[in-house]
Every structure is written in structure tokens, then in C-alpha cells.
Amino acid sequence: MTLDAMHWVWSQSQSRGNARLVLLYVADQVRTSACEVRVGQRELMRAMNTPSKGTAEKAVKAAEDLGELEVLERGVGRRAALYKLPKAVGFVREAVRSAPESGAQESASAPDSGAQTDDQGSRSAPKTGAQKNRSAPVLSRSAPKTGALPHTQTTQAGTEAGQPDAFARCQPLVRAMTEAGITVSWSMKASDWLDIAAIVQHAGVPAMVAFARDTKNATRQPIRYATFFLRGGWRGLPPAATPPPPQADSDVKPPHCGDPDCDPVTRYREVEHDNGIRSLKRCPDCHPSRKEHRAA
């Protein structure tokens, strides 16, 4: 239920700014089908990263005015207020609503003349016939809470549209995020994988990891899903100043130089220019692309 309430806020809510933060935090705490939960004012203030009670109250009022939040009981003493997300009640993700109960989904583009079931397709399907997609993940039901997709559910996001395998292109980012201590769920729609793969190509893994790390440090509430970073700022990252290191070099790294400004995972240093602008530069001492390491 938490997932559907959160997804409703992300995809359906008309809120902005602090009101949206309040709705996201309330949705994250929801554990009942009625979408009701008790949340204290101090919790909301921490979630919004503000010391002002007035700011939190204005955000709650703005969400109420939109009709997206109801205050069923006001907070009294130590008893927290009871909130409800009325428009999220009964909300179900589109992917869950349309998927068969077994979790298997047939390709929407399969022509009637060529589509066959799994039992018959392996022996008699013509080369042009579409078959059930064994590798497409059922993200809404079968993905584990840790966010790691089973090996038997490797996604083919984007291949039907003639685009590269987005899931494979995102794996360097997934590994770098995990090595940096940012453990989130990567359960998401195929379109989200395509968006993230495009950002990896555009901005580069080091910039995305640095943004996620800074966002996590600045946000008091726990971040559980990778889509939080996708919708919270990854899309706005500038193009990478230098192309990301070749995949072959990333597998073998020289010893870390020990410099406190050098990230031990990405081997990039954050430097400040004369105009005060900060940027990421490859470490000249321990980045895998350095000439001494290549020669070795």
C-alpha cells in the first residue's frame, strides 16, 4: 500500500513545493488501505528540513486546499494528528491493474498470426512471430524489497523500440551507488530505466552518484527508491565535462591515493575554480585512466 500511495503522489498529485513534501512523507508512512496515518508535527518539520512550525502548517494547509490531504484529527499533546490521502484510496498502479495474476505479460506488439504461448513457441514459432517475453520483469509484484532484480528477470526495456538495453547500461550506476553506500530499490517501470540510461549517457555515473550522495546527506527522511533521485534532480544534471572512463578500465583500479578530496569509488576529485564553481575532475594519482596504470 505504501508503494501505491507514494506512486499516486508522484504521478497524480497537483501539489508543489512544501505541500508536495508533506504528501510524500505522509504517503511514505501509510500502511493501511484507508490511506490514514498519524504523523507528528515535528516529523513533518524534519521531513521538510525546517525549524519553523508555521512553514509546516502552511504546507499542510496548502495540501488540504487541493483536496489531496485531510486532517481527520488534530494533534493534541503527545497524540499526533491523523491524516488521510483521500484521492489515493483504492489507487492501483497501471502496471498492476493490467498484468495477469501469474505475473507473465505478453508482448503488446505481437501480431495475431505469429503470437504463441511459451509451451509451443520454442518449437514451432516462425522467426517473425512474437512470443511471451520471459525476460521482462514484473516490477510491481515480484521485485524484492532490496531493489535487486533476480537474474531470471533481466529486463529488455527499450529493445522492442529499437533502443539499446537500458537495464545493462544502468548497471555501472547501480554498482557505483551501492559501493558508495546508497542502497535503494531499483524497482521501476521500463520507461524509468530508459530515462536513467539516457542520463548515464548524458551526465555520467560520477555526477549522478555525487548528486545522490549530496541529496541523501541533506535529506533527513530515508530514501527508499532510485526514482526519488530521477524525479528529484538527475534529469537536470549538466552534460559530463569529460566522457566516463571505459568499462574495461573500471574493472581494474590502482590503489586509492588516500587524498581526502578523492572519492574512493569513482576516483574523481571535487575542485573549486577561481569563480567559485565546483566540478568533478579525474584524480591524476589513482584514476584508472592515468597513463602509468594503462602501461602496467
DSSP characters over 200-219:
HHHH-HHHHHHHHHHHHHH-
Q: Are 210 and 285 in a shared domain?
A: no
- For residue 148, being part of any structural domain is answered with yes
- For residue 131, being part of any structural domain is answered with no
- For residue 35, being part of any structural domain is answered with yes
122 against 260, higher pLDDT: 260
pLDDT value, residue 129: 45
Q: How far apart are CA 224 and CA 31, in angstroms?
A: 15
Instruction: Check residue 272 and report its DSSP letter.
Output: E
Q: Are 275 and 228 in a shared domain?
A: no
pLDDT value, residue 112: 45
pLDDT value, residue 126: 46
SS3 content of the chain, % helix, strand, coil (to 5): 40, 10, 50
CA atoms within 13 A on the CB side of 25: 27
- For residue 129, being part of any structural domain is answered with no
Q: What is the pLDDT of residues 131-155, one digit of tens each?
A: 444 444 444 444 444 444 443 334 4
Residues 6+ apart with CB under 8 A from 239: 202, 203
pLDDT value, residue 47: 85
Contact 292, 285 (CB under 8 A): no
Cell of 281: 575532475
Q: Are 187 and 266 in a shared domain?
A: no
Percent of the chain topping pLDDT 90: 21
The mean of the pLDDT values for the chain is 74
Cell of 100: 495477469
Q: Are 34 and 55 in a shared domain?
A: yes
- For residue 102, being part of any structural domain is answered with no
Q: Are 229 and 256 in a shared domain?
A: no
Answer yes or no: is pLDDT of 266 > 70: yes
Q: Are 257 and 234 in a shared domain?
A: no
CB atoms within 10 A of CB 212: 23
- For residue 219, being part of any structural domain is answered with yes
Q: Are 227 and 284 in a shared domain?
A: no
For residue 278, what are the domain limits? 247-295
Nearest to 157 by CA among 169, 149, 147, 165: 165
* Residue 155, Cβ density class (10 Å: 0-12 exposed, 13-18 middle, ≥19 buried): buried
Q: Are 218 and 252 in a shared domain?
A: no
pLDDT value, residue 107: 41
pLDDT value, residue 65: 94
CATH number, domain with residue 33: 1.10.10.10
Name the domain count of the chain. Answer: 3
Contact 194, 166 (CB under 8 A): yes
Q: What is the pLDDT of residues 209-256, one digit of tens each?
A: 999 999 888 888 889 899 999 988 898 889 887 655 555 544 567 888
294 against 174, higher pLDDT: 174
DSSP 3-state assignment of 271? strand
Answer yes or no: is pLDDT of 113 > 80: no
> Which pTM was predicted?
0.34
CA dihedral 89, 91, 92, 94 (to 10 degrees): 180
